[in-house]
Structures are given as structure tokens and as C-alpha cells.
Structure 1
Amino acid sequence: MQSVRRSSRLTRNNNAANRSTPAPETAGSSSRKNPRKSSQRRIRCTPPPEDSEPEVESLSEENSSEDEEDMQEEILPKETRYENSRSAFQTLNQEKPDLLRPSKRPLSARFMTQGARERYVNLKPRQFIHQQRLSLTDKDLQDVKKVVADAGLLYTVCDSDSFQPSVVREFIANLGDAEPRGDGVAVYVRGSLVEFSPSLINTMYCIPQLEEDSSWVNENLDKVCTLLSGNRIKRGEDMSSKYLTVTNQVLYKLVCSNWIPTMSYTAMNAERLRFVYMLYHRRGFNFGKIVYNQILKMAENTETEKKRRIILPTLIQQVILIQRNIPPDTSDEAESDFPKLVVKDKKAGLASGAESKEPNLEEDIDQAITFLKGIRRRLRSKMFLRGEYGLSPYLMVFVLMCISAGGEYPHQRENEDTKSEDTESG
């Protein structure tokens, strides 16, 4: 049964390949349940049609290996996609040469205006947050690959390019003078304009267009942490990187490098945790819009945020390369290394001692009352502060609250002194 289905699939793929199409067709993953389309006219990266006949599930290793082969076969190489895309852009630009020319005369071949040149100077000393890539052949990372592929983001972590630091900085510097075009802008890069938009980014990574569901940004954090910690953490405030499961630890790394970049890999940011949670539930989200807005915001703050690193340099380089080639800049800086492979942390998910309880309003109120009573008792016992240091009652309360916040709650210390059996912690 399996061989018949596989033969049928190969026959359809061969027939589709023999047809002449204006642009290539690809698929992000064979594990998607619903066929999805990309609306970008430049490059078509739509998945092949699903099998019409019902598939018979099998638990055999042979069936699993064939499924992995299918996924590998359906991934169109980056070079092929880029070559077809550049050809399409070249044809369009020949028909409409005005698309390459800015509306105003540029200052030089590198900068649109003097303001762009000044922004470049501010960007010059800033370092980069290097993106990471996911190995598609590493059997130890198949669980991560499945989650990423099901969410439609596989090409964002398997495409890898070295980037030219000077070109990336020039792109960001010229963003301030970019001209509106479609759902994005046209940016001046090395003598001509290139398109930059959410739809172009989605098309570049073969991300299907879905109806956007932005509710994921407000997902209950307690529920998010429960899933990502393997049910060991019930409350968001108890979450720590050591409680992430091994799979989610890798996914969180990818969020911090390729999707919502930061250098704080161990800091549990609510937005990034919710993003990983959303990947599992396959909600409609506009990836292109997410990263597009981040890059625009970075470009707006080149002068005020001088110590912040430059994000998504590989993506920016790829946006340019998918439209035209950029000659190596031997007079300036050498190209950076390729994105490094993301790996699993052997110590991830092994933390013990998680004592996280599900949120309970009555317990939280009782805990707050106990905490305040403890402050009152400590305030009464330390009234000498007012006479000795001349502190007002309000300032004494503030000092004691700071002391309490830095250590144990007052009722905990009192319980230890009296050797009480009630050891509930706040």
C-alpha cells in the first residue's frame, strides 16, 4: 500500500515538473494538513497537491524513513529559487526600468541622502546578532524540524548565506529614505532600488498566506509555560530556561536568533514564549510582517540605540540576493561566516525541584494578606528606626518592603523562628 502511494506521488510530481511554469513550485513540509497558497506573484512556492486517497498510517521504521525522504525531496534548493527569482525581477525591471530608479537623485552609489550617510556612521560600530540554521538531516533534531515545518517556517532556518556587513548596514541606513511600494518600501542599495515588504519575505521563504490571527500575542502565559515546560511549570512567573523541554529549548534559540532576535537566550520573554506556543497550534500569523516591522523599528533608532546589535543580517542579505547579485566589497569588510547550526543542550529540560502550582485567586489573596501582616509586625518591631534615623513612617514602610522583596517573605522568617509546620511560600 505504501509503495503504491509513493509511486503515485512521484508520478504526479514528475508530471507537474514537465509543465512549463513562470516560476518554481515548492513545499515547506509534507506534514502540513491543509494546502496553502502564497499570493506573491514573483515566486511561487506553493506546496504540491495532497494525496486524494486516504493514507494508511504505519508505525514501521520503513514508513517513517520514507516520510523523511519525501520532506527532503520536496524542499527546493535555495540556489534554484534565487536564480528563478532574479530572472523574474530582471524581466520585470526591463519592462519597467523606473522600478530601479529612485524618484530623487541619490547622494552617491551607496547612500540616498546625507542623513543615510550619518545613520551608517552610527551603525558602523554595532555588532550583529547572527542567525542560526537547522540541520535537516540530523536525526536528533527531527522533532524540532517537524514543529518548524508544520508551522511553515522551514525555509527560514534551512536557507543560509554569508552576509556582507557593509551592505547590510547601508540597507538599514537607507531605509529612512525608502519610497513606499506595494505593502512595503523600495530601498536604495548600491546604485538602484530593491523591494522590501512582508509579502516579499513570505514569498522568499515559501511561507503560505493565511488569515492572520493575532490573538497569540495575548495567550495566557500560564498555559504557555505549562506546555513548553512539559507540565512542570503552572505559572508564568515561575518559568525559567532550565524548565524548557529539550525540543522547546532549541525552538526558543531559533526565536532568539531568526524570528524575534535578542542576545538574552536565557531570559524568558513572554512574547517569544508565546511565539513558540503558537507554532504548535499553527495559528495564522504573518511572519513577513513580524520581521519587517522589527527591521523598520531598528532603522528608526540608529542614533538613540547605539549599543544594540543589528538583527536579521542574513535575512536582509537574502532580500537583496533574491532580486539581484551584489559584487563582493573587497575594499571594505570581509563577508561574515555562514549561520551556525543550532544544537540541543544536553542539560536542557533536566532541572528538578519545580514546585509550581496552578493559579488560585483565593490562595493568592490569602498570601498577599499574610505578606502585609508580616510587614506590619516587622514595622512595629523596628519603630526605633524613626527615632534613631529620623525616618518617616511612610519611608520606613518602603524600606521594609524593599528588605522583604530582596529575601524571604516576613511570614516565612517568622514561621522558621517558631518552628511552625506551615511553610507555604509566597
Structure 2
Amino acid sequence: MQPRRSSCLNRGSSGAGSSSRPPSSQPQSPPSTRKRVRQHPSRDVSPELVEPENESLSETDSDNGVENPMGEAETFANRAKEERYHENRLMYRTKLDLYPELMQPHKTPLSPLFISMAATERFKGLKDRKFIDQHRISLTDENLADVRSIVEKAGLLHTLTDVDAYQPSVVKEFIANLLEASERDVGVAVYLRASMIDFSPSLINAIYCIPGFEDDPNWLDESIDEVCGFLTDGQINRWENMSSKFLSPTNQVLYKLVCTNWIPTMNYTNMNQARLKFVYMLHHNEDGFNFGKLVYDQIMRMAENTKKKKSRRIMFPTLIQQVINFQRIVPIDYPTDEFTGFPKLVVKDIKAGRGTGADTRSATLEEDIERTIADLKAIHIRLRRGEYPRYAPPPTGNQEDEVAGNTEELSQAGDTEELSRSLSF
């Protein structure tokens, strides 16, 4: 039985003084939130091309070098989380004793680190990749009480409060071996450091105390104009006028968390329809949704694209580390292993919601038709003047079928970001 969301936080505060702290792969005293805390010297590597970082939505982000150690409430919550992790590791140890065959790889591994030579090559391609670091939220900051309330009702509070430092090399080994994972009834088992790690949507939900749900909400079907109006407190009612500066302070924080913890991207200021609809869903859905599947599909898709998209950053590093820590303690491989700092605190931008100058009228069919006719007339005039360069004809026949097939494949894969792009989000 999964623990209740609220009890996991309360349990740490009520019994923190008397309970013994379980063993953990993380430092027990909260480290700094600086970008990198090196515990051992690492080998020199030549950096490869990575995607450019866009300006953050929050100009007062905690990524300015200021230390943000965990407060007392966060420390209690983290102790409660460690108790749950310790109990689950004992259960996995029992599972290993009773069913050793389930914890064995489906083929003889190449080495204690990699299941095959192909996994070794994938790791080489990943070793210089940077990460999209996840964020955490303060449990005591009154300025964020509104954000905490929305996230808690949506069942995602533990994704922002259960924090861990992560080991970059271990996370990359996990991704390198993921493509050759053993199939399981509800997910896969990934080879990691001479043992197996279960990975599935249900496991992710269990880690973050996500409650049960009956039907996943169709949040991608929401009207984008209605979403924009709601998230900007009525300032913007048309998608084409949407900009990050119009988001209310509360929704600015939620959108930032979507971009780091739930549907990761480095384009924080680039408004994306799928991410905006996700924020809208957080406000309106209190029946729960399959968060584990959302994350699982994104990570599996990322593993499949390690060769094709070499500039992409690695998503969900903290979550992947917690999937591992939930099951076993990973032995440290000297001198290459290191830990990062805990995730940084998310903050509100005092300038959020102050955008002006946009047309706030709601969209109407008549206006849209008139604007489309005017645009087509302008295009016709430019064509007659020869102002457009020569262009390739649109796809026909089998090409159209291929485009439709790719869109359907993305939809079935459940990858929200790729699906959004295919639908011109």
C-alpha cells in the first residue's frame, strides 16, 4: 500500500528526534546548492556542443551562486523520505534473496558497468552532456503558499520536496544501459553496477507517493486560448499574443517547474502549448493523473535519441537517481564518481504578470476568417511581385503517409515534447 501524501511529510517532523537515520548514498548533512560539489577529482573531458541556454523566467533565480541550504522543515521532510527509502531497500533485498533470477540480467554483461559494447559507446556519447537540473520548493516560504497548495492538490508535492544530490556518472550509465533493459510486466529492469534496477511508471508513482487514479485527464485537448486567459488572469485571450511576461506570478513559478521537473526544457521563456496546458491541468485536476507514465515515456524516448540529438541535455537527473536510491545503495567508483548539490529552490519573479500592450479580446470565428483572408491576399500580391524565393513543393503520396505515420508514432510513444512539436505546438 502506498503511503498517503500528507503522512510522508508529517512523519518526519514528528519523529525526527528519536529515529535513527538510515544509510544513504547521499551526504546526510545538507550540502550547498552550488552547481557542482566535487568530492573526487574527475578526468578531463573536452566539452561537446550543447543547446544554448535561454533566459530564465525568473530574474531572481537561485542560480546566482547564493547558497540555499535546506531549512528545518525541508530537513524533516528529507528524513521522512529516507525512512521510506530505507524500508523499500530492505524489501528489495528480501526480493533478491527469494527470487535471485529476477535480479539477474538477461545476458552476460560486458563489464560491471555496461551490459554491452553498444552501451559503452552510448555512454561515451553521453559523458560530456550537461543536465537540466530539477528544482525544489520551500515548505515554509509564505510567498509560495499558493504554489504549494496547487501542487499538493494535484498530487505532485513530493516531486518538489523529496530531494537528493545525484551522481552524474551513475545517471549516464543508467541511460546508456536503458535501451537494452529486460522487459518486465509493468516496465523494464536496467543493468547498473553489476545488479538490476526496476524502472516503471508505477515505481515512479510509488517513489513520489502519487495517489491512485482511474482515468488520465485529456489535458492536451484543452482550448489554448482558454488556457492563456486563465493563466494570465484575463490579460491574454489569444494564443498568438501569449508571452511569458503575461503569466501571473503563481503560474510563472508553475511554468518554471514544468520546464525543470515535469516536462523538461531549457527554453524557459518560450511559451509551449503543451506545458501551458499542463499548468492549466494542475489547477483543475484533483483526481490524480499518471505522472509516472508521463516521466517514464520521456526518459525512454530520451534514451532512444542519444545518438540522434547529441546537443540535448539530460532530463530528470534527480528523479533517475531517486529511482536507483529507492532500491539499493550504489557503490562509489573512485575517482570518477561525484555528487552534485541538492536541487535549487524555485522563486517567484516580482515582474511576472506585468506585461502590457497586447490585444486581450477573445478570439472569434469572424475575425479569424477576416484575418486569414487578408493574409492570403497579401501572400497573393507578394507572389505576383516575385518576392518569395523558390521553394520545394509540398509532400505528396507516400511522403504524406510518412508524415502522418511519424505523428501517430509520437502520439503512441507518449513523448509530450516531440508530440507537441509534431502538432505545431
What TM-score do you get using the length of structure 2 for normalisation?
A: 0.72
Aligned to 2:201: 198
- 1:166-224 deviation digits (Å, cap 9, x = unpaired): 10000000001100112100000100101000000000000012023341112110111
Is 1:246–1:345's contact at 8 Å kept on the other side of the alignment?
A: yes
C-alpha distance 147-347 of structure 1, shift in aligned 2 (>3 A): same
- 1:215 has 2:218 as partner: yes
Classify the secondary structure of the residue corresponding to 2:179: helix
User: Which deviates the most, 351-360 or 251-260?
Assistant: 351-360
Kindly indicate whether the alpha-carbon contact (under 8 Å) linking 2:5 and 2:158 is maintained by their aligned counterparts in 1.
no
**2:250 pairs with 1:247:** yes
Say yes or no: does 1:134 pair with 2:137.
yes
Please list every run of at least 4 consecutive aligned residues from structure 1 whose deviation after the TM superposition is greater than 6 angstroms. Answer: 72-76
Is 1:313 the equivalent of 2:303?
no
Alpha-carbon offset, residue 304 of structure 1: 1.0
Within 2, Cα distance between the matches of 1:24 and 1:285?
Answer: 15
Corresponding residue for residue 367 of structure 1:
371
Distance 1:75 1:147, change over 3 A: farther
Greater Rg by CA: 1
Aligned equivalents of 2:252 and 2:208: distance in 1? 23
Q: Give, as a single letter, the amino acid of the residue that structure 2 aligns with 1:355.
A: D
Q: Distance in 2 between matches of 1:330 and 1:340?
A: 26
Given that 2:211 and 2:288 are in contact with CA atoms closer than 8 Å, whether structure 1 keeps it comes out as: no
As a proportion of its length, which structure holds more helix?
A: 1
- If asked which structure has higher relative contact order (CA below 8 Å, sep 6+), I would say 2
Q: Tell me the distance in 2 between the aligned counterparts of 1:131 and 1:75.
A: 16
CA gap of 1:221–1:76, structure 2 versus 1, over 3 A, is: farther
What one-letter code is carried by the residue in structure 2 that aligns with 1:99?
L
Partners of 2:7 and 2:264 in 1: CA distance: 24
C-alpha deviation, 1:366, in angstroms: 1.9
Give the 3-state SS of the residue equivalent to 2:170 in structure 1. Answer: helix
Aligned partner of 2:157 in structure 1 is: 154
> Do structure 1's residue 358 and structure 2's residue 362 form an aligned pair?
yes
Shift of 1:238: 1.2
Structure 2 residue matching 1:172: 3-state secondary structure = helix
Per-residue CA shift, 1:242-280, capped at 9, x if unaligned?
010000000011100000000000011111111111111
Counterpart for residue 422 of structure 1: none
Determine which of 111, 132, 144 is the counterpart of 2:114.
111
Structure 1 partner of 2:95: 92
Listed one character per residue, the Cα deviations across residues 304-347 of structure 1 (whole Å, up to 9, x for unaligned) are: 11110000000000000000011233311421111000000111
1:125: which partner in 2?
128
Q: 1:178 to 1:373 in 2, by over 3 A?
A: closer
> What does residue 173 of structure 2 align with?
170
> CA 1:365/1:85 → structure 2, altered by over 3 Å: closer, same or farther?
same
- Could you say which residue in structure 1 is the equivalent of 2:329? 325
Unmatched 5+ stretches in structure 1: 1-22, 31-69, 380-392, 400-426
Q: Contact 1:29–1:152 (CA<8 Å) still a contact in 2? A: no
- CA shift digits 1:116-144 (9 cap, x unpaired): 00100011111000000011111110000
Give the alignment of 1:293-304 within 5 angstroms: 293-304=297-308
Count of residues paired in the alignment: 325
Q: Which residue of 1 aligns with 2:37?
A: none
Structure 2 CA distance for partners of 1:91 and 1:374, relative to 1, 3 Å: closer
Distance 1:395 1:89, change over 3 A: farther
In structure 1, which of residues 398, 405, 421 is the aligned counterpart of residue 388 of structure 2? Answer: 398
TM-score (normalised: structure 1) = 0.72
Aligned counterparts of 1:233 and 1:221: Cα–Cα separation in 2 = 11
The whole-number CA distance in structure 2 between the counterparts of 1:142 and 1:150 is: 12
- Identity over aligned residues, as a percent? 52
Following the alignment from structure 1 to structure 2, what is the Cα–Cα distance between the partners of residues 289 and 331? 35
In the alignment, what sits opposite 2:238?
235
Q: Please give the alpha-carbon distance, in whole angstroms, between the structure 1 residues aligned to 2:200 and 2:376.
A: 53
The corresponding residue for 1:67 is none
Contact 1:28–1:154 (Cα < 8 Å) also in 2: no
**2:363 partner amino acid:** P
